[in-house]
């Protein structure tokens, strides 16, 4: 019985001492923009890998919503225009766009591979004349 315990301890120690497989990430932009452009960059830090996203939109001082999830099978039209939502959100982040329509987002990549996450920004402009929505392209993060 002691030999089995010693063997399992040895195997566990070797597994923990072995270097982890390198994780590589790739960002791909898909679908056309509709009044907003989303750019992404994978970054590394001592806390792990992450994605920085920069948004440029035609809506100044609006509410920017970053949808984080998976790609929808069919897009959903947003209110107040011809823009579509292509991401089925599992989480969101909120920011205000500045006077020139810019906003920034950051997302920490979970240490799980393989991974595939879609990001899309929707910018809302509420005016007395009604609601207008712009949407960005979709950025797909793939990791292995």
Domain boundaries, the chain: 22-143
Q: Which residues pair with 143 in a beta bridge?
A: 25, 115
Tokens of 109: 């990549």
The pTM for the full model equals 0.82
Give me the pLDDT at residue 10, please. 38
Whole-number pLDDT of residue 113: 87
In the sheet that holds 48-57, the strands lie side by side as 36-45, 48-57, 102-108
| Residue 94 φ then ψ, to 5° | -115, 140
142 closest CA partner among 5, 20, 19, 40 = 40
Place of tokens 């019985």: 1
CA distances (Å), 114 to each of 20, 31, 98, 128, 141, in order? 14, 23, 35, 46, 10
pLDDT of residue 13: 43
Residue numbers of the chain with a pLDDT score lower than 70: 1-22
Judge contact between 127 and 48, C-beta under 8 A.
no
Structure tokens at 8: 């399992």
**Per-residue pLDDT at 126:** 84
Backbone dihedral region of 89: left (phi > 0), alpha (psi from -120 to 50 degrees) or beta? beta
Structurally, at CATH architecture level, domain 22-143 sits in: Sandwich (2.60)
């Amino acid at each position: 019985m002691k030999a089995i315990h010693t063997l399992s301890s040895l195997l566990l120690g070797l597994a923990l001492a072995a270097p982890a497989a390198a994780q590589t990430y790739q960002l791909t932009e898909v679908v056309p923009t509709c009044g907003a452009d989303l750019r992404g960059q994978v970054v590394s830090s001592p806390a792990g890998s992450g994605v920085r996203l920069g948004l440029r939109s035609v809506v100044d001082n609006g509410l920017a919503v970053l949808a984080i999830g998976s790609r929808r099978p069919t897009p959903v039209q947003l209110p107040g225009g011809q823009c579509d939502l292509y991401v089925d959100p599992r989480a969101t982040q909120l920011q205000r766009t500045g006077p020139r329509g810019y906003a920034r987002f950051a997302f920490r990549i979970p240490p799980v591979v393989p991974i595939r996450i879609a990001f899309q920004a929707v910018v809302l402009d509420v005016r007395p004349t009604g609601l207008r929505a712009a949407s960005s392209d979709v950025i797909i993060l793939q990791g292995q």
